[in-house]
Amino acid sequence: MPNPLYDALFARHADQDTPFLHLPDGSTMTHGQFIDTASRYANALTSKGLAPGDRVAVQVGKSPDALALYAACVQAGLVFLPLNPAYTPAEVEYFVFDASASLLICDPGSIGDLVDVAANNQAELETMDITGRGTLRDLAAEHGHRFATAERTENDLAAILYTSGTTGRSKGAMLSQKNLLSNAEALTKAWQFSKTDVLLHALPIFHTHGLFVATNVMLLSGGAMVFLPKLDADQLIRFMPRATTLMGVPTFYTRLLAHDDFTACLTAHMRLFISGSAPLLADTHTEFEERTGHRILERYGMTETNMNTSNPYDGPRRAGTVGLPLPGIEVKVCDPETGETLPDGDIGVVEVRGPNVFQGYWRMPEKTAAELRADGFFITGDLGVMDDQGYLSIVGRGKDLIISGGYNIYPKEIELLLDDQPGVMESAVIGAPHADLGEAPVGVLVAQPDAALDIEAINTALAGKLARFKCPRALVVIDELPRNAMGKVQKNLLRAQYADVFAL
Ligand code: MLC
Ligand code: AMP
């Protein structure tokens, strides 16, 4: 049965004894073993009555089995919905409810918190721990490693990835098989990946970067990955001699540079270092080149579009820019009011069109219509400027968004919770520069008249509701929020005022 994404990324590796995942314990999983594992999971999932198009929410730690779940969903035609393990049960409930997920797979340690979430939403519940063990693996073990691949077209959904929204309600970006496959093809070619490559993979696998950019490119090229649970600079350095390439958010590069053992000698054999998901400071780029002789290749993308632009593999990699549009993808910088394309050199909103652009937001037609134009251009909300050579620079964001260590944080979601706290009259959440994470959230609070704010209690209340990475790393109290003539909070003034809050 045709299933374009499965055929291109997975089916061709069946029975291959070439290495796919090198694990930190020294073991290796071959491509064939990975495909067999995935097919057992596909059998397990369908044995539970799941049918093509059903959503499978997955909130588990990073492991080969967790990655095999992605392959299993593609093979069975299920829609993969990966979730950050840091999300609280309240956050998970929203995703399971919104997506009408048929199955939730979670860590065994979360069962107590999530059993009601699943029951309330008529979802089945299975477990998988960070080693891959759990009820789902037990079920998979009862099945064979052959599975009749579900028929799919390139327009069928492969995944829904939730991205937070400016209103505080997360939106599910619907990604079709074609969205994912076309981008994997473009990137594999642009970055010259081949089966001789070994990628150091220390990114999470519940976001576009670690899941689609990294994994799909390696599957398409037939190469291998050193599959590490998370960023740990010691481990990156330990395994670098086995690798040819690294993909990371800018924090990867600042942490490597902070390490004394990170030297030109260690990296001499490396073919490519790629950065994205957040701005790479030009200083980091320069320092990296001075230390290693390598010029980091920066690219730009987002959940809704996968990757849009990249600095060239051959040709000038310009620090501070995110490079040129990838082949087949149109990128323009537009007037935010009129939507007219601006001349080179003018700052405007970046819009993109191509086979990479998502299918819209799950069950949110108004939001889809607001961001996806009828002619197919997606309004990214990023502010950019194009130079006369076609290189794009991201110079800011039209959307009120904080990117902390590559994770997106929408202030509205935090402000709504802060406003509900005893004694708080109003709040504004801003991003302040942070040496390790690029930026981190700061909550600016205004107290009700005569109220004394209990900052510790507010922090505790937030921690129960929000994933830790979203919780403000500083809460400050001021008399009133600066507002413009329209009554809008002037966050730019707050950002200037608290620019040094993490430097102290
Ligand atoms: C962890 N913490 C963070 C955080 N990550 N806080 C703010 N921002 C982050 N990004 C918090 C934890 O909750 C914990 O808090 C403490 O920091 C230590 O946790 P940790 O797990 O030990 O953190 P660490 O290993 O330092 O992780 C930092 C990181 C990681 C930057 C390596 O966040 C990471 O891998 N980020 C990559 C994100 C990513 O893949 N983005 C791509 C999105 S796709 P406490 O309070 O409990 O101590 C996309 C499209 C595109 O953007 O273009 O690619
Ligand atoms: P996400 O919604 O998590 O996929 O995050 C996408 C956002 O990350 C984009 O809209 C940009 O704001 C930002 N981003 C991704 N890559 C870069 C980059 N290289 N430079 C600056 N910002 C980036």
* E strand intervals along 155-223: 157-163, 171-176, 198-201
The pTM is what?
0.96
> Hey, what are 210's tokens?
């670690």
Q: pLDDT value at position 421?
A: 97
Q: pLDDT over 90 for what percent of the chain? A: 96
pLDDT band at 398; cut points 50, 70, 90: confident
pLDDT of residue 169: 82
Task: Please count the other Cβ atoms lying within 10 Å of the Cβ belonging to residue 343.
Answer: 9
> Rounded to whole angstroms, how far apart are CA atoms 151 and 135?
27
Nearest partner of 437 among 276, 262, 252, 291, judged by Cα = 252
Residue from 216, 198, 190, 186 nearest 271 by CA: 198
Find out whether the beta carbon of 214 lies less than 6 Å from any atom of ligand 1.
no
Query: In angstroms, rounded to a whole number, what is the distance separating the alpha carbons of residues 170 and 304?
Result: 13
Nearest to 18 by CA among 215, 199, 201, 223: 223
Best substitution site from 164, 180, 206, 277 to test ligand 1's pocket, by max atoms within 8 Å of Cβ? 277
Does pLDDT of 384 surpass 60?
A: yes
Length in residues, the chain: 504
Identity of the residue numbered 176: S
DSSP letters for 261-272:
T--HHHHTT--E
* Ligand that comes closest to the CA of residue 230: 1
Protein residue whose Cα sits closest to atom 9 of ligand 2: 302
CA of 280 to the centre of ligand 1 (A): 16
CB distance 382 to ligand 2 below 6 Å: yes
Residue 504 clears pLDDT 60, i.e. is over it:
no
Q: pLDDT (tens digit, 9 = 90+) per residue, 144-182? A: 999 999 999 999 999 999 998 766 689 999 999 999 999
What does the pLDDT average to over 270-286? 96
Residue 404's pLDDT band (cuts 50, 70, 90): very high
Q: Can you give the pLDDT at residue 370? A: 95
Those residues with Cβ within 8 angstroms of residue 87's Cβ, 6 or more apart along the chain or in another chain: 59, 95, 467
Distance 301 CA to ligand 2 centre (A): 6
Residue nearest to atom 24 of ligand 1 (CA): 231
Average pLDDT, the chain: 96
Band (441; pLDDT cuts 50, 70, 90) = very high
Instruction: Report CA(154)–ligand 2 centroid distance (Å).
Output: 26
Distance CA 415, CA 429 (A): 6
Residue whose C-alpha is closest to residue 44's, from 145, 184, 112: 145
In Å, the largest CA–CA distance within the chain is: 71
User: What confidence score (pLDDT) does residue 352 get?
Assistant: 98
Confidence of residue 397 (pLDDT cuts 50, 70, 90): confident
Phi, psi of 62 (to 5 degrees): -75, 125
Handedness of CA 173, 179, 181, 187 (dihedral sign): negative
Nearest alpha carbon, ligand 1 atom 18: 469
So what's the pLDDT on residue 266?
98
Query: Could you tell me the two tokens for 305?
Result: 């579009």
pLDDT tens string 289-322: 999 999 999 999 999 999 999 999 999 999 999 9
Residue 342 pLDDT level (bands cut at 50, 70, 90): very high
247 in ligand 1 pocket by Cβ < 6 Å?
no
pLDDT band at 191 (very low <50, low <70, confident <90, very high): very high
Which residue type occupies 241? P
User: Left if phi > 0, otherwise alpha if psi is -120 to 50, otherwise beta: which for 49?
Assistant: left
pLDDT of residue 399: 83
pLDDT at 453: 96
pLDDT of residue 400: 87
Return the pLDDT at 482: 96
Pocket test for ligand 2, best of 163, 166, 183, 302 (most atoms within 8 A of CB): 302
Please name which of 297, 290, 241, 248 lies closest in space to residue 268, comparing C-alpha atoms.
Answer: 241
Q: Hey, what domains does the chain have and what are their CATH numbers? A: 4-17+27-152 (3.40.50.980), 401-497 (3.30.300.30)
Ligand nearest to the CA of 379: 2
Half-sphere exposure for 388 (CA within 13 Å, toward CB): 0
- Ligand 1 pocket: which of 252, 304, 407, 502 to mutate (most atoms within 8 A of CB): 407
Nearest CA to ligand 2 atom 3: 408
Ligand (nearest to CA of 404): 1
Ligand 2 mean position to 186 CA, how many Å?
A: 18
Give Cα 388 to chain centroid, integer Å.
Answer: 30
